[in-house]
Chains A and B, each alone.
Chain A
Amino acid sequence: MAKHKTPMLDQLESGPWPSFVSDLKEQAQRRAKNKEGVEFQIPTDVVEDLLGVLELSFEHGRTHWKHGGIVGVFGYGGGVIGRYCDQPEAFSGVAHFHTMRINQPGGKYYKTDYLKQLCDLWDLRGSGITNMHGSTGDIILLGTTTPQLEEVFYELTHNMNQDLGGSGSNLRTPSDCIGSSRCEYACYDTQGLCFDLTQEYQDELHRPAFPYKFKFKFDGCPNCCVASIARADLSFIGTWKDAIKIDQEAVQGYIGGEFKPNAGAHSGRDWGAFDIQKEVIGLCPTECMIMDGKTLKINNKECNRCMHCINVMPRALRIGDQRGLSVFAGAKAPILDGAQMGSLIVPFIEAEPPYTKIKEEVIEPIWDWWMEEGKNRERLGELMKRQGLQRMIEVLGVDPDPRMVQEPRSNPYIFWKEDEVEGGWDRDIEEFRKHHQR
């Protein structure tokens, strides 16, 4: 028997989709039965009470969670998100219900014994409820009490070689795609850069001193498997400078049906014979490909590295050899001014360890600017909008570049300053009048 009646939540189970309500009920049952004989360190009925307080919120049309708190582990200002229930008498199991953010391993690689260890720890010292790799990328452990925080932290750091991630006004848990570990499209070592910056910026990650949150995300190529362009204040997206490498024989192989397009990913139904004109050349966004007899040609100057042709014919087309990354700044979800994608601020930069240029010429100048001029709770993308792309590139000390302009009249104009123009604003009026009447 469930501890609380939850008719409205039960409704949510009636649809065709998996339901978090069913999952929570199952977990509540498991704790109640406790077959494994776990010595629960927080109330056994935590999950029952979580369901109960949610039902009450539905009934009242208002939340029963307080916002935030003074919780954390010693020396860290982030990684723990304090949550307290404002109905602690009725729902004592969730009087404290803090979240812990765990810095997911690079590329989200971990073994099942790690996962088991983590789950055992969380069954013992938390609610057992987890949320794996949502938008943030990290491993999220939901629901524990204040005294358990240090205990969990000790286990993680001493026995699992595992750190907490970011929360609050700090550098959030950096997140990367699997990159060159398994993906031939990777233009740089995403895990290498992600790990290096995570180590370098430990202070920024654990001790909040920014105006608001700040996110790094690393994609090895423009396919953007971690969606860095939409979600990170600084997105590092792999690219190449030279030509796409073409294996003409393999192109014919695709045309002749020897190789399946998209490596067979769309084989769920019969789409007919592969048509290179319609499916590749005609879909190139910059119209920079042609078939010249039996030869596929690409005008690489026009190619914007959208990855489409490579994704369709991976055997025939490969990323170039002069590899590095582009940096985009200012992506964010709504709240102010709606959602925003990143703006290109560095068209190309090499990404080789120790990544000094990326740190000293991109990341740190941007932080200095934002920390000094950003308003409280202002994201980098909002500061960029407020002060303009021009101010941003001034901060970086780079010259304006046509590739930074999305289309005429959508990005702000670049204005010259007097000291940037030879002779300033003064001119010889006599000379001018020789050619122009008043």
Chain B
Amino acid sequence: MEYEEAKQKIVETLTKKLKTKSKFYFNDLAKILESKPREAKKVVNKLVQEGVLEYWSSGSTSMYGLSGTGKQAGAEGEDKEK
């Protein structure tokens, strides 16, 4: 998959889910990209570098979200998926 196509796919899917969920595990992103973790990692790294995605970390676990979306409340499960 080309980078631009991958980016579009991630942005579209994450935007669609935004109402219910703003933070995603790396695995969720790999699934969206339908690729092996190592391949997915290259794309995801670049998306972070470009500021499309941003990291969220609990300290023990890391997640990803579209930059500037979601609130701290997400960490408390207040915007769980229905």
Chain A interface (Cβ < 8 Å from any Cβ of B): 66-72, 75, 77-78, 80-84, 99, 167-170, 203, 207-213, 368, 371-372, 376-377
Complex interface residues of chain B between 60 and 77 (CB less than 8 A to chain A): 60-62, 65, 72, 75-76
Known contacts being A67-B76, A208-B57, is A78 close to B62, with CB within 8 Å? yes
Chain B interface (Cβ < 8 Å from any Cβ of A): 25-27, 36-38, 40-41, 44-45, 48-49, 54-62, 65, 72, 75-76
**Smallest CB-CB separation from A83: which chain B residue?**
B59
The CA-CA distance from A66 to B74 in the complex, in Å, is: 11
Contacts of B62 in A (CB 8 A): 77-78, 168-170, 208
The CA-CA distance from A372 to B38 in the complex, in Å, is: 9
The CA-CA distance from A82 to B49 in the complex, in Å, is: 20
Partner among B41, B59, B61 whose Cβ is within 8 Å of the Cβ of A207: B41
The CA-CA distance from A208 to B48 in the complex, in Å, is: 11
Known contacts being A371-B38, A372-B36, is A211 close to B57, with CB within 8 Å? no
Contacts of B36 in A (CB 8 A): 368, 372
- Contact B60–A213 (Cβ < 8 Å): yes
Those 5 A-B pairs whose CB atoms lie nearest each other, nearest first = A168-B62, A68-B58, A208-B62, A371-B37, A81-B59
- Contact B57–A209 (Cβ < 8 Å): no
- Contact A66–B59 (Cβ < 8 Å): no
- Contact A69–B56 (Cβ < 8 Å): yes
**Smallest CB-CB separation from A70: which chain B residue?**
B56
- Contact B60–A209 (Cβ < 8 Å): no
- Contact A75–B60 (Cβ < 8 Å): no
**Smallest CB-CB separation from A208: which chain B residue?**
B62
- Contact A75–B49 (Cβ < 8 Å): yes
**Smallest CB-CB separation from A69: which chain B residue?**
B72
**Highest count of chain A CB atoms <10 Å: which of B26, B41, B54, B65:** B26
- Contact A77–B55 (Cβ < 8 Å): yes
- Contact A211–B58 (Cβ < 8 Å): no
The CA-CA distance from A169 to B62 in the complex, in Å, is: 5
**Smallest CB-CB separation from B45: which chain A residue?**
A207
The CA-CA distance from A317 to B44 in the complex, in Å, is: 53
Partner among B38, B54, B60, B61 whose Cβ is within 8 Å of the Cβ of A70: B54
Known: A68-B56, A78-B62, A209-B40. 4 other contacts (CB 8 A): A66-B75, A169-B61, A212-B61, A372-B36
Partner among A82, A203, A372 whose Cβ is within 8 Å of the Cβ of B37: A372
22 A-B pairs, CB-CB below 8 angstroms?
Answer: A67-B59, A68-B56, A69-B57, A69-B75, A70-B55, A70-B65, A77-B48, A77-B55, A78-B62, A167-B57, A167-B60, A168-B59, A168-B60, A168-B61, A207-B45, A208-B55, A209-B26, A211-B27, A212-B60, A212-B61, A213-B61, A377-B61
Contacts of A169 in B (CB 8 A): 26, 61-62
The CA-CA distance from A355 to B53 in the complex, in Å, is: 35
Known contacts being A66-B75, A372-B36, is A82 close to B57, with CB within 8 Å? yes
Contacts of A211 in B (CB 8 A): 25-27
Contacts of A80 in B (CB 8 A): 57
The CA-CA distance from A83 to B72 in the complex, in Å, is: 11
- Contact A207–B56 (Cβ < 8 Å): no
